[in-house]
Amino acid sequence: MLARAAQLGRVPALIRQNLAFVLLLAIGIAAAIATYELRGAAAFRHAMESAGETFVFILPSLVGGLLLAGALKQLVPAGALAKWMGAEAGLRGLVIATLAGMATPGGPMAAFPLVLVLAQAGADRGALVAFIFAWSLNGFQRLLIYEVPLLGTEFAMMRVLLTLPMPILAGWLSRLIPIRWQPPK
Amino acid sequence: MTATQGLLWLMALIALGFCLKRSASTAIRAGRDGAHSLMRVLPLFTVALPMAAFLAELVPADIAEGWLGPESGLQGILIASVAGGFIPGGPFVSFPLVLTFTKAGAGVPQMAALVTGWAIYGVHRVIAWEVPVLGWRFVAIRMLAGLVLPVLTGLGVAWVLPWFPGALVRP
């Protein structure tokens, strides 16, 4: 199977994915040892419990988001979004991508598969950057569920008003950056 | 299940319904694609979540006042922007941390920079998602395009704060 993967040129992708796993595991083990040594056994248990609770909490989002992404991949035909979010769509493409990003619910497990769908369907780098920034900065769902209850309406409103045009600005900037990039197959 | 999760599932079921309307095999392909992605991300989650929880135990709360206080100015905004990028985990980690820092004496512009740094640099998200999905080159482009935004947000908040006197008032 590995030989076949190598034939398809997918070994770099496999290495990159496992690199992420190994990195996270290494930082996690170091942090676990440090927690036990510096904060004691109770803090260690507390961390394990909160990790377990978080896992149970996000599992429904994870499965729902991946199912949504899987379905959208079947429904959105390649190139359908190109006329909306392609480089030739100019500023309008950036505005549409920004609105779509803010409307995208869920964590990275939901958003990044969607980004992949958009990239494969013809969205340009500016639209992808605008989409990711709009989702991570001002995703309406995170705003309503976490920021407003925890930090208050006034802080959330002030921050959102200030950062609202930033995804468009960054998307426009990214079109000027001279790094070559091809959307993944 | 929360309301948002319900909404996400509703959207997923509607999209699956559209697949089914097209043909049964389209719906099966969609489900298989979702399951395939799940198998790919579950191992990452089983290591990422304990990592985030242990790091949260290690962050000392009393560094807030000196490094991130209202008097820390531009330097505090810079520190907060970078620190925000290294906050692991989702909003369930970052926003409670902002609350902890605020109670410990951090300033409002610094905390806005922290949230923006977390949203834009988000190192753990880059490693776990963006690199595997889009590649290093894309990450480099996106980082360059957004490099100054957290600092800009902090400075902007410092500027407009007089019009938002109730923002992050210490309890």
Dist CA B49 CA B84 (whole Å)? 17
Whether the complex's predicted ipTM surpasses the cut of 0.95:
no
Q: Is the pLDDT of residue A1 over 60?
A: no
* CB-defined contacts A:B, below 8 A: 276
The answer to whether B54 contacts chain A (CB < 8 Å) is yes
Q: Is the pLDDT of residue A6 over 90?
A: no
* B161 or A185, higher pLDDT: B161
Can you tell me whether residue B169 is helix, strand or coil? coil
The pLDDT assigned to A5 comes to 43
pLDDT tens, A48-83? 998 888 788 778 877 887 788 788 778 866 456 656
| Shortest Cα distance, chain A CAs vs residue B139, angstroms | 9
Query: What ranges do the domains of chain B cover?
Result: 1-41, 59-163
CB contact under 8 A, B32 and A154: no
Give the B window 58-97 contacts with A, CB below 8 Å: 58, 89-92, 95-96
| Contact assessment for residue A116 and residue A76, using Cβ atoms and an 8 Å cutoff | no
* B24 or B1, higher pLDDT: B24
| Contact assessment for residue A83 and residue A89, using Cβ atoms and an 8 Å cutoff | yes
| Contact assessment for residue A127 and residue A118, using Cβ atoms and an 8 Å cutoff | yes
The pLDDT assigned to B140 comes to 95
pLDDT tens, A90-130? 899 999 899 888 888 777 877 888 888 888 888 899 999 99
Q: How confident is the model at residue A143 (pLDDT cuts 50, 70, 90)?
A: confident
Dist CA A126 CA A87 (whole Å)? 7
CB pairs under 8 A, 24+ apart, for A50-54?
A50/B53, A50/B56, A51/B49, A51/B50, A51/B52, A51/B53, A54/B49, A54/B52, A54/B53, A54/B89, A54/B92
* Tokens 């697949």 sit on residue: B19
The pLDDT assigned to A11 comes to 52
Tokens representing B1?
């299940």
Dist CA B166 CA A159 (whole Å)? 13
Q: What type of residue is B113? A: A
Q: Is the pLDDT of residue B9 over 60?
A: yes
Q: Is the pLDDT of residue B171 over 50?
A: no
